């Protein structure tokens, strides 16, 4: 009897998975967001409509209104790049999230993502204001580009180190589509709401500063 019961339970589980067509939109969204946090490129490729996704790069592009990273090579040796890689990006990847309100409409679906993370946008705005003030004072001195870059790096590091609590909260809708009969997260590139939530407000902060200074 126990063996028969075990067989029946196994069959029910198999049939349930078959009927659902694999992982649900919520499950796929969870896999995608976890893969971003862990920077698991292989996992992202399996559940995302594109082959890869870089949160920092896409947040930067969305803030600048660009689709490429043409200037990346030019800035490769900049002192700020080290701060981005060692301080900003790790902080950005520490976001927490909760999923809810799954909605399916044929081959499309949405899942609400409630994101809690650091106030990175506020830190970036504060950094920019402080750096601008000091840089202006040094503009007429014999300060080299390397020294100016080091100043910016030091100020930004200080602002990031000051972020100890996650108080930036935002709920956004993550879109999914059916691809090869399975759910995958739809293109996030250019989706400012999602990127802004995941980046702790950086997209809005940079966009606002660009507008204020006429880009």
Distance from chain centroid for Cα 160: 17
Confidence tier at 7 by pLDDT (50, 70, 90): very low
What pLDDT score does 62 carry? 83
What burial class does residue 185 get, using C-beta atoms within 10 Å of its C-beta: 0-12 exposed, 13-18 middle, 19+ buried?
buried
Distance from chain centroid for Cα 109: 20
Distance in angstroms (rounded) separating the CA atoms of residues 199 and 91: 9
pLDDT of 184 above 70: yes
Distance in angstroms (rounded) separating the CA atoms of residues 30 and 99: 8
pLDDT of 58 above 70: yes
Q: Regarding predicted confidence, which is higher, 66 or 94?
A: 94
pLDDT tens-digit profile of 106-163?
999 999 999 999 999 999 999 999 998 888 877 777 778 888 889 999 999 999 999 9
């Amino acid at each position: 009897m126990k063996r028969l019961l075990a067989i029946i339970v196994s069959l029910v589980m198999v049939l349930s998975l078959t009927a659902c067509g694999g992982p649900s939109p919520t499950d796929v969204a969870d896999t995608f967001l976890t893969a971003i946090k862990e920077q698991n490129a292989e996992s992202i490729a399996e559940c995302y409509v594109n082959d890869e996704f870089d949160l920092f790069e896409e947040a930067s592009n969305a803030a600048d209104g660009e689709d490429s990273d043409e200037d990346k090579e030019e800035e490769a040796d900049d002192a700020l790049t080290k701060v981005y890689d060692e301080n900003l990006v790790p902080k950005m990847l520490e976001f927490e999230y909760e999923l809810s309100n799954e909605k399916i409409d044929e081959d499309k679906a949405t899942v609400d993502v409630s994101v809690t993370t650091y106030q990175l946008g506020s830190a970036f705005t504060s950094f920019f204001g402080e750096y601008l003030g000091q840089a202006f004072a040094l503009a007429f001195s014999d300060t080299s580009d390397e020294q100016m870059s080091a100043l910016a790096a030091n100020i930004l590091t200080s602002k990031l180190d000051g972020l100890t609590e996650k108080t930036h909260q935002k709920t956004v809708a993550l879109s999914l589509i059916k691809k090869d009969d399975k759910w995958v997260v739809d293109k996030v590139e250019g989706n400012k709401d999602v990127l802004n939530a995941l980046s702790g407000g950086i997209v809005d902060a940079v966009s606002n500063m660009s507008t204020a200074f006429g880009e």
